[in-house]
């Protein structure tokens, strides 16, 4: 059940909206701009995650801060029992602050194999080092409409030695706003493993972007994880010093 | 002297009877010896199976490595250790490994597991890994970043040969590093493998990834013979005091438990077999004497002293024993040698054994000491067996004896 | 055939007391040895299973059907007090213990390591595994449950690794039911000396209720472990448990420890060979006594036939004699071996040396057990009797061909 989403691609998605000009025609240029945007960007978001399974459902609210691609902090705000739990990512290390125990734990590899909080996201994905630009070959393979918007269909093929588990990734990127509306990830056999799709496009933080997305594993009927952004701030004025272990405890 | 020749001729006066006694002796001794050889072979085999595939004879680890699997807890002097092992005559083979605990991921699944850096030939020599590769091959070429994974992991990851997996683990500096590996082969794991997944890759590639150079975390040693293992372990523990040296019985007390309790039970079985044998001999000799009651009576009546009668019977039994005993041992030796090479196929009784990687063939084996022990026991048994009929004979009253039947 | 023949055969036997005693004795010892050997074999194997079952899986364990393939808290089952009570009443169930097992990260000070947490019912587990006897001095087994400070009993090697002493605090972090974060804080009550170093490095025992609370699965367990009575039929117990838990799987120890089953099966196979050889020896012994009996009574047979006794009649009588000898020996043997085994059941042979130490370390009884079950007796008696009856056919052949004149003059 531990499926790897492209959570890096999720971040990408959030920040792709920063790409404003429309002169980029090639796939590479699309993604280059996106990566560029990501590197210098910062973000504060409030979101709600819903985990849906055939026999149960769970909801979680959290607030997150991100600086570039290497710094991120997340605190759970609901439900009450888990509220106050903080996750910190610096480069490739992850820490966890547990208020009930009043302890900071650094996550060892063994724990990272588990899914993040029971979602379809994996902890390990937070630390795996891979770059959409560097590790893939990109090509635009077509045009398609998604949610009524014309999109470029970009196919990404990972380089043989890249530390990427996918055999192939397909992205639908909106031509107007450069929104990543859908991502399909395939294994090396060419089978679809998971789909990241947009449920709703809206305006938050002064930008138009997908405000609700969901990750759906291909082989597990009734499983999905939904993410909905309640608030977004694209200039929260963060600095490196915010992303520290001691800061975790003060949140 | 004459008694000897009389005794000898007596034996052959009733060939049927004597042959029966010799026959049952040969059978009994063959049976007993063969069983000992069989047990020996079976126990040694099962032990060796488990030692081969899992524990090895001796394991040497960097001090503290097994606690946290910290990449920096390497062996104190990998080079010196491997050099010493290479020169050691007691060592049949050894494999120096790098071990990292990290994440193994495919498109379908991320799971925790051990990444083991090996030298393919050395590892196959010690744990027969090469033999257990069921698909693909064990690092067929020199291409970098190949990996061999277990069948169950392959299933869970939903990958096959030539597919890619991504491994993430901490390096020397504690940073998490990732690399892509291509599945070169898939190996068959043991049935109920305890801890999680175990994948094998070339040591030099893992060393590059972890940044540990030529140092290694563990060495598994397989000795030429089980008997030298304890001494071997002690020697290396002394010489490489900074490392953790453990013989197999310290690593796996359960193996010891299972094998040793079985040994004690075998002793009891053998005692029973020998008792049965003993009884058989006494039985037949006694009947033989009974049959000759009249004749013995006549002999005593015409002047053969009781003492001489006693010795005569005793000698007869001993002589039969000296024919039957060695003959039995010879036949036993022959069968043990033959089955020792060709094996006894037990697969009919335990079909699933082979599926679990255990051999269903038993190769009986017995060392010279074993034969000698049995010979001594047989001689002792014959002497005891001889006493009963001899004692019975001398208690006969000649007149009653003559008139009996 | 009638009563007369039997009487004659019987009296014939006692005409030559010694021979009768010896031949019957052959059969007697045959049964004796065979039964003792089988009894010890089954005893040892049974104990091996028992010991391993007690240490980990139990004889039968009820689990969620998906648990075996993927042992996570998500694959758990509901268990309430009533059903547990019902399970304990099952015929043949000696102890039924609920357990909640999960792999989490344990942390104390700045050291952390993955461990296996097992939520147990302290009293029940203690009665089976005698934990209280194996707590390192300075600590104790579980006391009265306290909501504010749940206790943990930690494997000694784990305690050493994390530097724990009784009174210290142990934290656990992991995932509970449905992926919720599961955090636990426990006070170390004591360190448990578990013989197996792997287990000692890995196990943390806590109270079931505390585990259920920490993993957010109140009323759920990952396994219901059943230890059966020695005489119970495991498959019956399994069936009853399956009936009580219809939506789950009741697994035998052999499903949960296939390695052990394979090892034992392998040894049993070897045992057949041994038995076979034993029978060979015994059979030959029987045969040789009958052979000699025939040769000894040649004269008597010769005379009997020449005065008119039909060969067939004589053959039948002799056969009856052998059969009676067999019956006598087997019957007495079976009767005699029983108290012999009972004695060793009550006063078992004690193991020595290393092996003894090892057993004690694991909390196992260092004895050599015997199994006393009717089937062992019947089987062996049947085989030996069968051998006697087969061997008895030889005289028929001899008698058919007996040269009367030669015989009478022998």
Same domain, B265 and B230: no
Distance in Å, alpha carbon of B167 to nearest chain A alpha carbon: 8
Whether the CB of B391 is below 8 Å from some CB of chain C: the reply is no
Residue C1 has pLDDT above 80, yes or no: no
Of C203, C223, C247, which residue sits at a domain end? C247
Q: Is residue B80 part of a domain?
A: yes
Same-domain pairing of B213 and B334 = no
Q: Which of residues 340-359 of B touch C (CB under 8 A)?
A: 344, 346, 349-350, 352-353, 356, 358
Residue C350 lies in a domain: no
Q: Indicate whether C136 and C191 sit together in one domain.
A: yes
- Which helix (H) or strand (E) element contains residue B231? helix B229-239
C111, C269, C285: residue with CB nearest B24: C285
3-class DSSP state of C234: helix
Which residues of B lie inside 8 Å of A (Cβ-Cβ)? 101-103, 105-112, 145, 158-159, 163-166, 168-170, 175-180
Q: Does the residue C144 lie in any domain?
A: yes
Provide mean pLDDT across the span C66-72: 83
Q: Are residues B224 and B271 in the same domain?
A: no
Given a cut of 70, whether residue C220 has pLDDT beyond it is yes
Q: Mention every residue, 6+ apart, whose C-beta is less than 8 A from residue C221.
A: C76, C77, C79, C98, C99, C100, C119, C208, C212
Contact B39 C41 (CB under 8 A): no
More confident call, B396 vs A232: A232
Element (H, E) at C285: helix C258-296
Average pLDDT of chain B, as a whole number: 82
- Answer for the pair B381, B28: CB distance below 8 angstroms, yes or no: no
Best of B250, B350, B381 to substitute, by most chain C Cβ atoms within 10 angstroms, is: B350
* CA-based nearest residue to B126, from B186, B194, B53, B198: B53
Question: What does residue A134 show for φ and ψ, rounded to 5 degrees?
Answer: -75, -35
Interface test with C, best of A101, A104, A107, A115 (most C CBs within 10 A): A101
Domain with B357 in it? 2-51+256-403
pLDDT band at residue A61 under the 50/70/90 scheme: very high
Is residue C155 located within the same domain as residue C177?
Answer: yes
Q: Which of C219, C247, C275 is the last residue of a domain?
A: C247
pLDDT of residue B148: 94
Query: Considering the domain boundaries, does residue C346 fall inside one?
Result: no
Asked whether residue B225 falls in the same domain as residue B110, the answer is: yes
Whether C301 and C386 map to the same domain: the answer is yes
Provide mean pLDDT across the span A240-246.
86
Sign of the four-CA dihedral C106, C108, C112, C113: negative
Query: Could you tell me if residue C252 is inside a domain?
Result: no
Neighbors of chain C by Cβ distance (3+ pairs < 8 Å): A, B
Do B71 and B34 fall into the same domain? no
Q: Which of the listed ranges B237-246, B249-258, C377-386 does the model predict with the highest average pLDDT?
A: B237-246
My answer on whether C106 and C241 are in the same domain is yes
Residues C241 and C265 in one domain: no
State how far residue A125 is from chain B, nearest Cα, in angstroms: 9
Q: What is the mean pLDDT of residues C20-41?
A: 81
One domain for residues B302 and B205: no
Q: State how far the Cα of B358 lies from the Cα of B345, in Å rounded to an integer.
A: 12
| Residue at B30 is within a domain | yes
| pLDDT tens digits, B249-296 | 888 776 776 666 666 666 666 677 677 767 777 777 777 777 777 778
- List all residues 6 or more positions away from A32 whose beta carbon is below 8 Å from its beta carbon: A24, A133
Evaluate whether residue B249 is within a structural domain: no
Examine residue C356 and state whether it is found in any structural domain, yes or no.
no
For residue C360, is it within any domain? no
Closest by Cβ to A167, choosing from B107, B110, B178: B107
Residue span of the structural domain in which C127 resides: 65-247
Pick the most confident of A93-102, B188-197, B272-281. Answer: A93-102
B89 and B41 in a common domain? no
- Band (pLDDT 50/70/90 cuts) for residue B185 is very high
Write the pLDDT tens digit of every residue in C261-296. Answer: 777 777 777 777 777 877 877 787 778 778 777 877
Mean pLDDT of chain C: 84
Q: By the 8 A CB rule, do C194 and C364 touch?
A: no
Q: Do C14 and C69 share a domain, yes or no? A: no
Question: Is residue B165 located within the same domain as residue B222?
Answer: yes
Residues C77 and C21 in one domain: no
pLDDT at residue C188 in the model: 93
Give C241-268 pLDDT, tens digit per residue.
999 999 899 999 888 887 777 777 777 7
**Please, which pLDDT band fits residue A192 given cuts at 50, 70 and 90?**
very high
Q: Is residue C301 part of a domain?
A: yes
Residue A18, pLDDT score: 37
C129 touches B: beta carbon within 8 Å: no
Cβ contact C114–A110 (<8 Å): yes
pLDDT-based confidence at residue A137 (cuts at 50, 70, 90): confident
Q: What residues of C are in contact with residue A96 (Cβ under 8 Å)?
A: 173
The answer, for C180 touching chain A at a CB cutoff of 8 Å, is yes
Given pLDDT bands bounded at 50, 70 and 90, which one contains residue A228? very high
The domain tally of chain B equals: 2
The answer on pLDDT for A20 being more than 60 is no
What are the pLDDT digits (tens) for B280-337?
A: 777 777 777 777 777 788 888 888 888 888 888 788 777 877 788 888 888 888 888 8
C334 and C309 in a common domain: yes
Q: Is residue B248 part of a domain?
A: no
Q: Is the pLDDT of residue A1 over 50?
A: no
Residue C125: partners with Cβ closer than 8 Å, 6 or more residues away: C97, C131, C205
Same domain? C242 vs C147? yes
B189 shares its domain with B321: no
- Among the candidates C205, C223, C247, a domain finishes at C247
**Alpha carbon distance A36, A24 (integer Å):** 13
Please report which confidence band the pLDDT of residue B191 belongs to, taking 50, 70 and 90 as the band edges: low
Indicate if the pLDDT at residue B361 is higher than 80: no
Q: Decide which of B208, B241, B274 is a domain's last residue.
A: B241
Please give the Cα distance from A171 to A155 (Å, whole number).
Answer: 6
B197 in the same domain as B93: yes
Q: What is the pLDDT of residues B21-69, one digit of tens each?
A: 788 778 877 887 887 788 777 777 777 777 888 888 999 999 888 877 8
- Neighbours, chain B (3 or more CB pairs < 8 A): A, C
Identify which has the larger pLDDT, B83 or C398.
B83
B176 within domain boundaries? yes
Give buried/exposed letters for C353-371 (b at 16+ CB in 10 A, else e). eebeebbebbbbebbbbbb
Contact between B34 and C351 using a beta-carbon 8 Å cutoff: no
Closest CA to C153 of C103, C127, C117, C104: C117
Does C125 lie in the same domain as C77?
A: yes
**Contact residues for B386 (Cβ-Cβ < 8 A; gap 6+):** B285, B313, B314, B316, B317, B318, B321
User: Please, are residues A123 and A110 in contact by the beta-carbon 8 Å criterion?
Assistant: no
Q: Enumerate the residues of chain C whose CB falls inside 8 A of the CB of residue A114.
A: 174-175
Same domain, C224 and C76: yes
- pLDDT tens, residue by residue, A63-81: 988 887 788 888 999 888 8
What is the per-residue pLDDT for A181? 87
Look up the ipTM and state it. Answer: 0.77
- What total of structural domains would you count in chain C? 2
CA distances from A127 to A10, B177, B197 (A): 14, 9, 21
Whether C130 and C213 map to the same domain: the answer is yes
Q: What is the pLDDT of residue B122?
A: 92
Residue B174 predicted with pLDDT over 60? yes
Ranges B349-358, C150-159, C313-322, C344-353: which has the least confidence: B349-358
* Residue B391 and residue B261 share a domain: yes
- Structural domain includes residue B201: yes
**Is A186's CB within 8 Å of B107's CB?**
yes
Among candidate residues A7, A95, C318, C17, the one with its CA nearest the CA of residue B290: C17
- Phi then psi for residue B194, to 5 deg, are -70, -75
Give the distance from residue A208's alpha carbon to the nearest chain B alpha carbon, in angstroms: 31
Q: pLDDT: is B6 or C333 the higher one?
A: C333
Q: Which residue has the higher pLDDT, B323 or B73?
A: B73
Among C112, C117, C149, C216, which would you mutate to test the A interface (most chain A Cβ atoms within 10 Å of its Cβ)?
Answer: C112
State residue A4's pLDDT score.
34
Residues B27 and B90 in one domain: no
Instruction: With beta carbons less than 8 A apart as the criterion, state whether C265 and B16 touch.
Output: no
Does C348 reside within a domain? no
pLDDT at residue number C170 = 92
């Amino acid at each position: 059940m531990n499926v790897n989403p492209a959570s890096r691609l999720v971040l990408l998605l959030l920040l792709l909206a920063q790409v404003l000009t429309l002169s980029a025609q090639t796939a590479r240029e699309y993604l280059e701009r996106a990566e560029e945007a990501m590197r210098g960007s910062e973000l504060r978001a409030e979101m709600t995650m819903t985990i849906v399974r055939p026999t149960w459902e769970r909801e979680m609210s959290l607030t997150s801060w991100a600086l570039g691609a290497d710094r991120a902090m997340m605190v759970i705000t609901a439900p009450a029992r888990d509220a106050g739990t903080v996750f910190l990512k610096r480069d490739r290390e992850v820490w966890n602050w547990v208020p009930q125990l009043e302890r900071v734990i650094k996550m060892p590899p063994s724990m990272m194999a588990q899914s993040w909080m029971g979602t379809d996201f994996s902890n390990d994905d937070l630390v795996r080092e891979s770059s959409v630009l560097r590790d893939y070959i990109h090509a635009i393979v077509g045009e398609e409409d998604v949610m009524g918007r014309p999109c470029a269909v970009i196919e990404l093929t990972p380089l043989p030695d890249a530390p990427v588990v996918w055999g192939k990734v397909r992205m639908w990127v909106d031509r107007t706003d450069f929104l990543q509306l859908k991502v399909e990830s395939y294994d090396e056999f060419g089978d679809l493993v998971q789909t990241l799709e947009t449920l709703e496009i809206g305006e938050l933080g002064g930008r138009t972007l997908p405000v609700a997305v969901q990750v759906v594993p291909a082989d597990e009927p009734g499983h999905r994880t939904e993410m909905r952004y309640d608030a977004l701030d694209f200039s929260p004025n963060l600095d490196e010093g915010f992303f520290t272990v001691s800061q975790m405890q003060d949140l | 002297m004459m008694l000897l020749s009389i005794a000898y001729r007596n034996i052959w006066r009733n060939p049927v009877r004597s042959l029966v006694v010799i026959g049952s002796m040969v059978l009994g001794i063959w049976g007993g010896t063969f069983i000992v050889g069989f047990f020996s072979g079976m126990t040694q085999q099962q032990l060796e199976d488990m030692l081969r595939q899992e524990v090895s004879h001796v394991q040497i680890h960097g001090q503290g490595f097994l606690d946290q699997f910290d990449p920096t807890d390497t062996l104190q002097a990998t080079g010196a250790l491997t050099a010493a092992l290479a020169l050691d005559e007691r060592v049949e083979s050894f494999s120096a490994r790098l071990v990292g605990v990290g994440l193994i991921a495919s498109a379908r699944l991320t799971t925790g597991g051990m990444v083991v850096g090996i030298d393919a030939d050395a590892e196959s020599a010690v744990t027969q890994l090469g033999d257990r590769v069921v698909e693909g091959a064990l690092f067929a070429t020199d291409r970098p970043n190949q990996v061999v994974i277990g069948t169950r992991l392959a299933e869970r990851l939903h990958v096959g040969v030539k597919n890619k997996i991504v491994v993430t683990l901490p390096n020397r500096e504690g940073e998490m590093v990732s690399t892509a590996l291509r599945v070169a082969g898939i190996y068959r794991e043991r049935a109920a493998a305890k801890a999680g997944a175990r994948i094998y890759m070339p040591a030099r590639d893992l060393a590059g990834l972890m940044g540990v150079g030529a140092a290694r975390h563990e060495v598994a040693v397989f000795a030429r013979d089980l008997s030298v293992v304890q001494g071997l372990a002690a020697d290396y523990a002394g010489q490489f005091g900074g490392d953790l040296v453990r013989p197999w019985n310290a690593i796996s007390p359960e193996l010891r438990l299972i094998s040793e309790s079985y040994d004690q039970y075998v002793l009891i079985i053998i005692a029973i077999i020998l008792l049965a044998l003993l009884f058989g001999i006494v039985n037949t000799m006694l009947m033989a004497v009974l049959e000759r009651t009249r004749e013995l009576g006549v002999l005593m009546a015409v002047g053969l002293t009781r003492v001489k009668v006693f010795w005569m019977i005793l000698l007869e039994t001993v002589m039969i024993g000296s024919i039957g005993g060695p003959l039995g041992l010879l036949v036993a030796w022959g069968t043990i040698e033959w089955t020792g090479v060709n094996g006894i196929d037990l697969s009919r009784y335990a079909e699933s054994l082979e599926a679990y990687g255990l051999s269903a063939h038993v190769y009986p084996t017995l060392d010279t000491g074993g034969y000698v022990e049995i010979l001594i026991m047989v001689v002792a048994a014959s002497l005891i067996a001889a006493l009963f009929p001899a004692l019975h004979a001398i208690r006969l009253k000649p007149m009653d004896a003559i008139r009996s039947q | 055939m009638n009563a007369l023949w039997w009487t004659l055969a019987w009296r014939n036997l006692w005409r030559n007391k010694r021979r009768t005693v010896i031949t019957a004795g052959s059969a007697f010892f045959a049964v004796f040895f065979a039964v003792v050997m089988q009894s010890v074999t089954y005893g040892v194997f049974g104990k091996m299973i028992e010991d391993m079952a007690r240490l980990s899986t139990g004889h039968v364990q009820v689990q969620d059907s998906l648990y075996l393939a993927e042992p996570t808290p998500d694959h758990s089952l509901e268990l309430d007090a009533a059903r547990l009570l019902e399970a304990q009443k099952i015929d043949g169930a000696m102890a039924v213990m609920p357990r909640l097992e999960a792999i989490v990260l344990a942390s104390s000070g700045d050291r952390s390591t993955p461990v296996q947490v097992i939520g147990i019912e302290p009293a029940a587990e203690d009665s089976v595994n005698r934990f209280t006897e194996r707590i390192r001095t300075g600590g104790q087994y579980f006391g009265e449950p306290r909501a504010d400070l749940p206790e943990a009993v930690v494997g000694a090697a784990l305690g050493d690794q994390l530097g724990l002493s009784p009174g210290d605090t142990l934290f656990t972090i992991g995932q509970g039911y449905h992926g919720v974060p599961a955090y636990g804080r426990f006070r170390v009550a004591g360190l448990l000396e578990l013989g197996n170093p792997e287990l000692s490095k890995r196990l943390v025992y806590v109270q079931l209720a505390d585990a259920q609370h920490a993993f957010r699965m109140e009323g759920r367990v990952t396994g219901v472990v059943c230890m059966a009575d020695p005489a119970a039929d495991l498959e019956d117990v399994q069936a009853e448990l399956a009936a009580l838990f219809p939506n789950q799987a009741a697994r035998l120890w052999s499903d949960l420890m296939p390695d052990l089953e394979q090892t034992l099966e392998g040894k049993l196979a070897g045992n057949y060979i041994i038995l076979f050889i034993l029978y060979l020896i015994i059979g030959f012994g029987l045969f040789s006594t009958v052979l000699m009996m025939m040769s000894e009574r040649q004269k008597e047979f010769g005379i009997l036939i020449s005065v008119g006794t039909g060969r067939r009649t004589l053959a039948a009588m002799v056969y009856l004699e052998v059969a009676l000898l067999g019956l006598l020996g087997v019957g007495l043997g079976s009767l005699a071996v029983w108290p012999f085994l009972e004695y060793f059941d009550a006063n078992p042979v004690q193991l020595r040396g290393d092996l003894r130490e090892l057993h004690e370390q694991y909390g196992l009884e260092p004895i050599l057990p015997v199994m006393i079950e009717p089937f062992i007796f019947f089987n062996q008696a049947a085989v030996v009797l069968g051998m006697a009856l087969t061997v008895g056919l030889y005289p028929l052949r001899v008698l058919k061909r007996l040269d009367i004149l030669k015989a009478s003059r022998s």
